[in-house]
Chains A and B, each alone.
Chain A
Amino acid sequence: DSGVTQTPKHLITATGQRVTLRCSPRSGDLSVYWYQQSLDQGLQFLIQYYNGEERAKGNILERFSAQQFPDLHSELNLSSLELGDSALYFCASSRVTDYGYTFGSGTRLTVV
């Protein structure tokens, strides 16, 4: 167990629907990152939050949004889902003094 918890592990939903992925960071970590891993795009950085505030944005679609709550857990919301959104979504967390991240085990999203 890495200390980063992601739920659910698997999610199957239909096109056009909306889903929420949840991440609880490692204890003491203030930064949370979301990544998307797909066969054609590889690992793509989506967004970073630090202590509740958005700090960096990557290749995140406008249909996607995220937030980090006061207890530091984070949620990634994906709406108007398309087949191409099917992917493994990873959450990771870190401290400012860390090098690298601790990753969760991911949520596999399948859009049918």
Chain B
Amino acid sequence: AQSVTQLDSHVSVSEGTPVLLRCNYSSSYSPSLFWYVQHPNKGLQLLLKYTSAATLVKGINGFEAEFKKSETSFHLTKPSAHMSDAAEYFCVVSRSNNAGNMLTFGGGTRLMVKP
């Protein structure tokens, strides 16, 4: 079984300050992990993915995440927030079947960016 816990349902930062969105996972095997972003009234866009290569993963729009197996964490960070980063962020763990991948989503973190 696999599960994902996003530790904060809401995070508020000021524009230009760092962003930290926390995610812990549970998986009985080596997981693939993702962060997706959803802007209001939009679909889900892949930010970045970890697939057992480098533990520090760089994504789009300046985001990055570090896989820490010992802490079962995959936190998302960005050095400097922009107003356009305001959105809902989902941490996701993947399990493969022989036809594709089954994704389990965390509950989401709503990021608010203050001017």
- A interface residues with partner B (beta carbon < 8 Å): 2, 30-31, 33, 42-43, 45, 48, 50-51, 55-56, 90, 92, 94-96, 98-106
Contact = CB atoms under 8 A, between A and B. Distances in A.
Given A42-B107, A43-B90, A98 B101 contact: yes
Tell me the interface secondary structure of chain B in the complex. Answer: strand
Interface residues of B, number: 24
B94 A99 contact: yes
A31 B94 CA distance: 15
A17 to B, nearest CB: 24
Given A42-B107, A43-B90, A48 B44 contact: no
B3 to A, nearest CB: 12
B85 to A, nearest CB: 19
B97 interface: yes
B86 interface: no
B2 to A, nearest CB: 12
